[in-house]
Amino acid sequence: MSVQTNTAKEFINDPYHLFRQLHSHQAVQWFQFFNSEGWLITGYKEAEAALKDSRFVKEISNHVPPESLGTPSETLMPVFNLTNNMMLFRDAPHHTRLRGLVTKAFTPRMTEKLRPTIEKMANYLLDEMKNKQEHELIADFAYTLPVMVIAELIGVPNEDREQFREWSDAFIKFIDLNTTEADLEAVAPQLKEADTYMRNLIKAKRIAPAEDLLSGLIAVSDSGDKLSEDEMVATCLLLLIAGHETTVNLITNGYYLLLKHPFEMEKLINDLSLVSNAVEEVLRFDPPVLLTTRWISEDLEFSGQALKKAQVAMIALGAANRDPAVVDNPDLFDVSRTNIKHLSFASGAHYCLGAPLARLEANIALETLIKRIHNVELSEEPTRRNNIIFRGFQALHFNGEIT
């Protein structure tokens, strides 16, 4: 088709420019997208249908002969073994089993119990920021808060959090669309290190169990055949990374949007009960996960297109959220918008397991920032992180008075 992306940098700075052009074209089209090509799905109805359709799969290896799949290099093999054991990259029945083992820990009811702890952590972080002249939201607040929460839930020592950041950066590079084999090889050692770290922690918890998710998983694994040690390592690392990577960006994208839209910020200052609606609008307007992928498991007809087995579908959640067919005035950021619809936590079998936790953290974070920081302004325009799928900033510097 004639619509073309420019450079990755231009796309990362404003993906919605391309999405607008695609909306006026076709909801599903074959597209060359940086280092990947496949069916790009940008319509809301079509994206939701694909996410709920069991012919759009995560594990193509179940549908094609093994010789048609390449073999990873020796460096990459352990990393593929790790990611292949994560529920995010599996289909039923393994996906159902792995997800079922941890679902209970993340229900809205269980999550709500964490509210007082998260509020205390948010206020503690702002107290620490008070003593500084210059403020940087990510390092001082938006990264630390979700990491502290997820580390405590899983039972991982919070002191090691700087390492989690490196592993997380490596992991998201691994699933980016603009990554080369050389990039993957470069980040493989960090993921190997994360794997070893988790195995050592499991050894220690076996000797001294605690009241945490990891100890619970060890008990399940040791009492039967429901969970292998490799799957336990992969599940904990996935939760550790997914549990903070995206929430950091939701908080930061949200605060940035409010700073760029002072009228919207004013609405929240005047009525804090609007914050939860604002979180949904941030999720819709600039989601932390812009896009997700699936394989096509069999030849099929979809939205008037002939999709072939083993092709890739790239489901643009961020485009679906701004589809003019389902959202009025989609490019307007409005925290008082009613009936907000978005696919930012996906849909179907892989619907984000941590959505209630992410919502709770973002609500508390934004409310605390709004209540305690006054006369705030950006001290410089922030730079986006270099990733096609995960939308966030490298840093967010601002000036303001913290009370």
Residues 252-291 that bind ligand HEM (CB under 6 A): 287-289
Q: Which region, judged by CB under 6 A, interacts with ligand HEM, from 12-20, 116-124, 204-212, 346-354?
A: 346-354
Per-residue contact string for residues 145-184; x = within reach of ligand HEM by CB under 6 A:
----------------------------------------
Give which of 355, 402, 343, 340 is closest to 376, Cα–Cα.
402
Q: What is the enclosing helix (H) or strand (E) of 227? A: none
Q: Which is closer to ligand HEM, CB of 293 or CB of 379?
A: 293
Determine the residue type at 262: P
Q: Is 356 in the site for ligand HEM (CB under 6 A)?
A: no
Query: CA 194, 200, 204, 207 torsion: positive or negative?
Result: positive
Q: Which residue blocks in 261-354 are alpha helix, DSSP H?
A: 262-270, 275-285, 317-320
Q: Is 388 in the site for ligand HEM (CB under 6 A)?
A: no
Determine the residue type at 376: V
Q: Are 150 and 244 in contact (CB under 8 A)?
A: yes
Residues 95-124 that bind ligand HEM (CB under 6 A): 99, 106
Cα 76 to its chain centre, rounded Å, is 23
In whole angstroms, the minimum distance from the beta carbon of 354 to ligand HEM comes to 2
Q: Which region, judged by CB under 6 A, interacts with ligand HEM, from 113-121, 124-132, 191-199, 242-250?
A: 242-250
In whole angstroms, the minimum distance from the beta carbon of 249 to ligand HEM comes to 7
Q: How many residues lie near ligand HEM (CB under 6 A)?
A: 24
∠ CA 224-234-345 to the nearest 5 degrees?
110
Q: Are 322 and 297 in contact (CB under 8 A)?
A: no
Number of Cβ within a 10 Å radius of residue 114? 18
In whole angstroms, the minimum distance from the beta carbon of 352 to ligand HEM comes to 3
Q: Considering only residues 350, 388, 390, 396, which one is a binding residue for ligand HEM as defined by CB under 6 A?
A: 350
**Three-state SS at 33:** strand
Per-residue contact string for residues 220-239; x = within reach of ligand HEM by CB under 6 A:
------------------xx
Give which of 33, 51, 32 is closest to 43, Cα–Cα.
51
Q: Is 292 in the site for ligand HEM (CB under 6 A)?
A: yes
Give which of 97, 257, 298, 80 is closest to 184, Cα–Cα.
80
Q: Is 391 in the site for ligand HEM (CB under 6 A)?
A: no
- Beta partners for 28? 41
Residues 123-152 that bind ligand HEM (CB under 6 A): none
Q: Is 42 in the site for ligand HEM (CB under 6 A)?
A: no
Q: Considering only residues 26, 246, 252, 363, which one is a binding residue for ligand HEM as defined by CB under 6 A?
A: 246
In whole angstroms, the minimum distance from the beta carbon of 193 to ligand HEM comes to 21
In whole angstroms, the minimum distance from the beta carbon of 96 to ligand HEM comes to 9
Residues 315-344 that bind ligand HEM (CB under 6 A): 344
Rounded-to-integer distance, Cα 92 and Cα 347, Å: 15
Q: Which is closer to ligand HEM, CB of 186 or CB of 216?
A: 216
Q: Is 352 in the site for ligand HEM (CB under 6 A)?
A: yes
Give which of 197, 105, 93, 118 is closest to 361, Cα–Cα.
118
Q: Are 309 and 299 in contact (CB under 8 A)?
A: yes
Rounded-to-integer distance, Cα 13 and Cα 384, Å: 7
Between the CA of residue 272 and those of 24, 247, 308, what are the distances in Å?
A: 37, 20, 49
φ/ψ region of 363 (left if φ > 0, alpha if ψ in -120 to 50, else beta) reads alpha
**Three-state SS at 149:** helix
In whole angstroms, the minimum distance from the beta carbon of 246 to ligand HEM comes to 3
Give which of 357, 356, 321, 353 is closest to 340, Cα–Cα.
321
Per-residue contact string for residues 67-96; x = within reach of ligand HEM by CB under 6 A:
--------------------xx--------
In whole angstroms, the minimum distance from the beta carbon of 375 to ligand HEM comes to 28
Position with the least CB separation from ligand HEM? 354
Q: Which is closer to ligand HEM, CB of 156 or CB of 238?
A: 238
In whole angstroms, the minimum distance from the beta carbon of 49 to ligand HEM comes to 14
Q: Which is closer to ligand HEM, CB of 31 or CB of 56?
A: 56
Q: What is the binding site for ligand HEM (CB under 6 A)?
A: 87-88, 99, 106, 238-239, 242-243, 246-247, 250, 287-289, 292, 344-346, 350, 352-354, 357-358
